[in-house]
Structure 1
Amino acid sequence: MKYRIILFLILGLDASILIFQTTQISISPSEASLLYGDASFLQQLVKLSLKIFGQNDFALRFVMILLHLLSAWLLYVISAKYLALERNRLWLVAVFVLLPGVVSAALVVSHAGLIIFGLFLYVYVSQKLNDYYVNMLLFLYALLDAGFVYLFVGLAIFYLFQKNKILFLYNLFLAGLSVYIYGLNISGVPSGHFLDTIGVYSAIFTPVIFIYIFYTLYRGYLNDENDKIWYIASTALLFSLLLSFRQRVELELFAPYLILALPLAAKTFAHSYRVRLTNFRKRYRAIFVLAFVFLIFNTLIVMFNKELYLLLDNPKKHFAYKMHIAKKLATKLKAMNISCVKTSQDMQKRLKFYFIDKCDENVLQELQPHSSIRSDVTIRYKNKILYKANVTKINNK
């Protein structure tokens, strides 16, 4: 019982931090494009949330936070197969909620959070229910989101080695169905983004954890200790690395598959630690402490990211700059009794979320933050200028 209480305390604290963060950020260009662009299952979920809670930042991100919390709970449940001790499962959940990529998926409206939840749900259902329900869930995935195509490919390879022709062909069919519905972004000429891909993976997981996940998958290959999770995670990693030689890879579609490998990595680490004498466990404790230091440091950066503006000459170099301006800009425009403007396409979509419509009557022109030109709108953080713009009233009469 005490472990369940600790689990809910972890999730409660995590939810509180995420909800607080929703008050500190505004809608980004990518989120606005998802919300007002082509129809998708995720878009419909977000619109349902906005309909229930009203058009505000909490409602925008409620679905992602909920999927994140459910994913953490599912990870705790499914990891029982890999970790016998409940306290180790709690440590695994703590690592999960602190991962930079997971925090980003919980706050930013993107397909990554949906895929993470979908993968954990698949593993949970495959552990608890028979193949009929599992296959129905997979068919539903093929219809809902393009990001699940690598799940079908990984499962097809798994069942190929298991010599299960029916499930091999079924998952191959689902992969083809997903590609037929959503397409597959494989294009361009060789441009060499391999090192960039490794760098982004390291940022998503922190270097220590990414290296250990890679080591776990490689060790599984050498020792032939390969279950479904290994095949799914390894297939996605291999595809992403191969594609990176040709094009810039959308890692929000691949990183969730490596997150799925966390129970395998935790099992490997716990086993390696347990079989060693006390005097030889220091190196593993050091690795664990170092990983947590990285995770906590990254979490603090996310929580207090606005302080970084004070260290940057150009505020646009801030990693979260595109999530900081629109809401305050809309507030200032409303204070000026301006309810509509004409501006850049990205900002136009973002302002639309805060009830600033498009019109030809007022033209909003952004200025450089260090420009000496007098501005009508200035947004600051602790006296550091982040954004400047002029509003010109157009008389069409």
Structure 2
Amino acid sequence: MKYKIIFLLILGLDALNLIFQTSQISISYRESLILYGDISLLQIIIKSSMYIFGHNDFSLRLPMIFIHLSSVILLFSISKHYIKEFGNRLWLVFIFVLLPGVLSSALVVDEAGLIIFGLLLFIWLYLNNLKKLYYLLLVSFVFLDNSYIYLFLALSMYGIHNKNRNFFIFNMIAFFISILLFGVDAHGSPKGHFLDSLALYAAIFSPIVFVYMVFVLYRRHLDNKRDVVWFISTTGFIVSVILSFRQNIQIEHFAPYLIVALPIAAQSFISSYRVRLKEFRKTYRMMFQVSLALLLLNTIVVIFNKELYKVLDRPKIHFVYKFHIAKELAQSLKDDGISCINTNYKMQNRLYFYGVTKCDKYKLSKIKNNPNNIKNVTISYRNRPIYNIYVTKINK
């Protein structure tokens, strides 16, 4: 009972943090492209939320928060197949919600959160031997998103490993159908994106966690402990590394594959810790403590990210800058009765979400001494101006 209360507490605090973060950020340009661009499953989900809960930031991010919390529950359930002790499973969940990449996927409207949920749902169904349901899920993945192509590839190899001919054939067919429907973006010549991709992985997991997870995948290969989760994570990671030699990969399509390896990483860590005598466990304790401290520090920085503007010389280098400004700018314009304006295409898309449409009556300009300027808008966070623009009336 005590552990269940702790689990619900972790889930509740996670949800409260995400709701708080929702109130602090605006829609980004990339999110606006998903919302107003080509139709997709994610767009349908977001627009359905906005239809039910109204046109606001909360309804925009509510589906991502709900999907994330569902992923937490799935991970907790999956972990019982790898970790016996309830307390250690809680530590796994706690680490999961603290990971920078997971926190980002829980808020940002992109495919990452949906892919994490999809992979965890398949793993949960597979480990619980719900055969009809996981086959049905795989069929739906064929038509939903090209990111699941690598799942089919992984499961094909797992079918060979398990000598399961039907499972292999099914996933190979799904793999080729997905390629026909979506294609695979593998273009260009070597451009040195390999190190960039590793740096992104390190940022998503934190350096220590990332290195350890790659080590665990390698170690389990040597020890011949390759289960379905190992094949999924290893395939996704290796494909991303290979592609990174030729192009700048979309990390949000690949990081989820490594994230779902957390249960086997935790299992390996606990096993390695326990087989050692107490006097030789110090290194493992230190590694865990340092990793946890870094993850907690990252979460604190995210929660209080606007404080960083006080020490940054250039606001644009702030890691959340692209999620700031638009909401406050739109409100300032509407306070002066300006409901339409002309500006650069990125800000135009963002302002549209907040009810400021495009027109030729006004425009946003950085030219200070224009006689047609009617308003100066300055956006400040923590008493630090980070954005300054002029509203110019266009005379025809």
Output the TM-score relative to the length of structure 2.
0.97
Are residues 1:389 and 2:392 paired? Answer: no
Q: Give secondary structure in 2 for the equivalent of 1:285.
A: helix
Task: Report the aligned-residue RMSD.
Answer: 1.4
**Alpha-carbon separation, structure 2, partners of 1:395 and 1:168:** 67
The residue matched to 1:376 in structure 2 has which SS?
A: strand
The AA in structure 2 aligned to 1:39 is: I
Displacement of 1:395 after TM fit? 2.7
- The residue number in structure 2 matching 1:345 is 345
| Structure 2 equivalent of residue 228 of structure 1 | 228
Q: Is the 8 A contact 1:155 1:232 kept in 2?
A: yes
Equivalent position amino acid for 1:310 in 2: K
- CA offset at residue 392 of structure 1? 1.6
Q: Distance in 1 between matches of 2:67 and 2:386?
A: 32
Measured in 1, the distance between the counterparts of 2:278 and 2:311 equals: 44
Tell me the alpha carbon deviations over residues 265-318 of structure 1, each in whole angstroms, 9 at most, x when there is no partner. Answer: 000000011111111111111111011011001101110111111111111111
Q: How does 1:1-397 map to 2 (within 5 A)?
A: 1-366=1-366, 376-396=376-396
Q: Which moved more, 1:374-383 or 1:119-128?
A: 374-383
State the distance in 2 between where 1:16 and 1:171 align. 39
Aligned mates of 2:161, 2:275 — CA distance in 1: 31
| Structure 1: 4+ residue segments shifted above 6 A | none
Amino acid of the residue matched to residue 97 of structure 1? V
Per the alignment, in what secondary structure is the counterpart of residue 80 of structure 2?
A: helix
Gaps of 5+ in 2: none
Q: Distance in 2 between matches of 1:241 and 1:392?
A: 48
Displacement after TM superposition at 1:364 (Å): 1.5
* Cα pair distance change 1:375/1:199, threshold 3 Å: farther
Partners of 1:35 and 1:350 lie apart in 2 by 10
Q: Distance in 1 between matches of 2:341 and 2:357?
A: 6
Report the number of matched residues: 392
Give CA deviations for 1:104-128 in whole Å, capped at 9, x if unaligned.
0001111000000111110111122
The CA distance in 2 between the partners of 1:64 and 1:150, in whole Å, is: 22
Is this contact kept in 2: 1:367–1:388, CA < 8 A?
Answer: no
Contact 2:188 2:246 in 1 (8 A): yes
Cα deviations across residues 74-131 of structure 1 (Å, max 9, x unaligned)? 1010110100101000000000000000000001111000000111110111122432
> Letter of the aligned partner of 1:94 in structure 2?
F
Distance 1:367 1:317 in 2: 23
Q: CA deviation at 1:196?
A: 0.7
- Report the alpha carbon displacement of residue 374 of structure 1 after superposing the two structures with TM: 10
Q: Distance in 2 between matches of 1:248 and 1:270?
A: 35
The farther-off stretch of 27-36 and 278-287 is 278-287
Judged with a 3 Å threshold, the aligned counterparts in structure 2 of structure 1 residues 166 and 366 are, in CA distance, closer, same or farther, namely farther
Task: Report the residue type matching 2:219 in the other structure.
Answer: R
Tell me if the contact between 2:111 and 2:253 (Cα under 8 Å) persists in the aligned partners. Answer: yes
Q: CA deviation at 1:163?
A: 2.3
Q: Point out where structure 1 has 5 or more consecutive residues left out of the alignment.
A: none
